[in-house]
């Protein structure tokens, strides 16, 4: 197991929590709540790979001393044993030297690999999560992030630098521009920020508030004045800001909580859709032409969830009753195909008058519907017909 990869470790942690708390892994929770809703790529990309490699994983709980998790691949090495005892949970991946011990106690959950050269420890307690790769002089691992302007927070005014940032400038447009033949200069580059979902039990044990920020940063070994520290601080503060007029907002720190929020607003008969780019070759930032087949999604109420920059997956979700969503087929100048999700806000009267959209489009708040495309790692939830 690579000592520098905290995501692999958290996969074992998820298995342990399934055994010790009788909870469904995030992917199975999705299927139990939304059996008729396909999972969009923006979600599946952020799940632990252990739960995506094979769909036939079974968990058998018997009278013995543990729980057997079988991935169903037919190989002896693919069988994972989870033994639950008084001392905690032991996960055996079926590989020599691949034994992982998961200790569950009042102090939290600890994960360590039984490697002779020093294992990897994940401690989950009331204070948060720490990932330690072991060995002398090695600091805990965290997912690095960098600060950037978030154009989807409508209470913010744009600065001059942000106004001249072409990446942001290409996002907003008017609803009347959604028609075949329209050409736009857009950037569908996939985000380099990759943080996976934590299981709800783990995410719930980690503080997520400005008041606890020093404790959070300490748990992830992030310096407060570093770029990562400032970005995590911004994400927490943005989540704590009051919603604008007519908006309901919620920051989901797990997939389960995002599902719960979205279905509480729209019901369970929903679609979850994200922008999808066909093929990774060629330029992502270029001119794109809207093709025939624009699809208006049903309803005037949607939930839009924006992936935030944080040490693990956090989505800023918000909903209004004054929005319309579209799936827009596009083709780049180099032939690249994109099914882009566009969201149009029909009432922008509560937005900051100096928001980026108004300055770029030369319109006033509340005057015309303002639209934007969603990046690949953002999601729109809409009711089915």
> What is the DSSP track for 104-128?
EETTEEEEEE--TT---EEEEETTE
* Cβ–Cβ < 8 Å for 158, 149: yes
Nearest Cα neighbor of 202 from 7, 44, 2 is 7
Token pair recorded at residue 5: 């990869």
Comparing CA positions, the residue from 316, 337, 339, 312 lying closest to residue 326 is 339
Give the SS3 label for residue 370: strand
Structure tokens that stand for 372 in this block: 């934007």
Two tokens at 362? 């030369």
Backbone angles phi, psi at 4, to 5 degrees: -95, 5
Helix-strand-coil split of the chain, %, nearest 5: 25, 30, 50
The whole-number pLDDT of residue 167 equals 53
The pLDDT value given to residue 155: 72
Tokens of 171: 């996002």
Task: Say whether pTM exceeds 0.95.
Answer: no
Q: How far is CA 310 from CA 88, 135, 316, 355, in A?
A: 29, 26, 11, 24
In sequence order, which residues have a C-beta less than 8 Å from that of residue 261 and are 6 or more positions away? 250, 252, 303, 317
Q: List, as own/partner pairs, every contact residues 218-222 make where C-beta atoms lie below 8 angstroms and the sequence separation is at least 24, other chains included.
A: 219/127, 219/128, 219/129, 219/130, 220/128, 220/129, 220/130, 220/140, 220/142, 220/311, 221/130, 221/139, 221/140, 221/142, 222/142, 222/311
Residues 313, 47: Cα–Cα separation, whole Å:
9
- For tokens 């303002």, name the residue: 370
| Tokens 């892994």, located at residue | 25
Q: Which residues, in sequence order, are CB contacts of 26 under 8 Å at separation 6+?
A: 14, 47, 48, 51, 197, 199, 200, 254, 255, 256
Which one, of 92, 86, 75, 77, lies nearest residue 15 by Cα?
92
The Cβ of residue 5 has, within 10 Å, a number of other Cβ atoms equal to 14
Could you list the mean pLDDT of each consecutive 10-residue stretch along the chain, which spans 385 residues?
36 42 80 96 83 40 40 41 41 42 38 39 36 36 42 74 62 92 89 83 95 94 93 95 91 98 96 90 84 93 94 94 94 93 92 89 93 93 92
Q: What is the pLDDT of residues 26-66, one digit of tens each?
A: 999 999 999 999 999 999 999 876 544 444 333 333 334 44
- Count CB-CB contacts under 10 A for residue 358: 20
* DSSP single-letter state for residue 282: S
- pLDDT number for residue 165: 67
Q: What pLDDT does residue 102 have?
A: 39
Tokens of 317: 């979700």
pLDDT value of position 210: 96
Q: Strand, helix or coil at 72?
A: coil
Please report the pLDDT score of residue 193 as a whole number: 64
The closest of 190, 13, 216, 22 to 111, measured between CA atoms, is 13
19 contacts: CB under 8 Å, gap ≥ 6: 59, 61, 66, 67, 69, 82, 84, 89
Neighbouring-strand partners of residue 61? 67
- Sign for the pseudo-dihedral over CA of 94, 96, 101, 102: negative
């Amino acid at each position: 197991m690579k000592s520098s990869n905290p995501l692999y470790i958290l996969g074992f942690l998820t298995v342990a929590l399934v055994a010790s708390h009788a909870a469904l892994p995030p992917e199975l929770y999705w299927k139990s709540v939304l059996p008729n809703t396909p999972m969009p790529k923006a979600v599946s990309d952020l799940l632990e790979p252990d739960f995506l490699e094979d769909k036939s994983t079974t968990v058998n709980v018997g009278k013995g001393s543990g729980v057997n998790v079988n991935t169903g691949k037919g190989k002896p090495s693919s069988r994972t044993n989870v033994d639950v005892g008084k001392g905690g949970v032991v996960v055996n991946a079926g590989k020599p030297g691949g034994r992982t011990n998961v200790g569950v106690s009042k102090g939290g959950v600890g994960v360590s690999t039984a490697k002779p050269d020093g294992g990897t420890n994940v401690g989950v307690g009331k204070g948060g999560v720490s990932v330690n790769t072991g060995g002398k002089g090695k600091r805990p691992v965290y997912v690095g992030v960098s600060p950037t302007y978030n154009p989807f927070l409508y209470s913010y005014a744009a600065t001059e630098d942000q106004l001249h940032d072409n990446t942001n400038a290409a996002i907003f447009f008017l609803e009347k521009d959604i028609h075949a033949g329209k050409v736009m200069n857009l950037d569908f580059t996939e985000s380099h920020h990759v943080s996976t979902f934590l299981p709800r039990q783990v995410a719930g044990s980690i503080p997520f508030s400005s008041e606890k920020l020093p404790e959070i940063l300490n748990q992830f070994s992030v310096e407060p004045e570093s770029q990562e520290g400032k970005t995590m601080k911004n994400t927490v503060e943005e989540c704590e800001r009051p919603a604008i007029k007519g908006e309901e907002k919620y920051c989901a720190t797990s997939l389960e909580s995002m599902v719960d929020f979205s279905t509480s607003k729209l019901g369970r008969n929903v679609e979850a859709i994200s922008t999808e780019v066909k093929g990774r070759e060629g330029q992502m930032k270029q001119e794109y032409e809207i093709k025939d087949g624009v699809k208006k999604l049903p309803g005037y109420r949607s939930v839009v969830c924006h992936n935030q920059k944080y040490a693990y997956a956090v989505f800023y979700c918000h909903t209004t009753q004054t929005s319309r969503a579209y799936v827009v087929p596009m083709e780049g100048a180099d032939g690249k195909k994109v099914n882009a999700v566009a969201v149009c806000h029909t009432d922008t009267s509560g937005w900051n008058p100096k928001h980026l959209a108004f300055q770029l489009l030369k319109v006033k708040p509340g005057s015309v519907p303002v639209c934007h495309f969603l990046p690949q790692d953002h999601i729109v939830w809409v009711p089915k017909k």
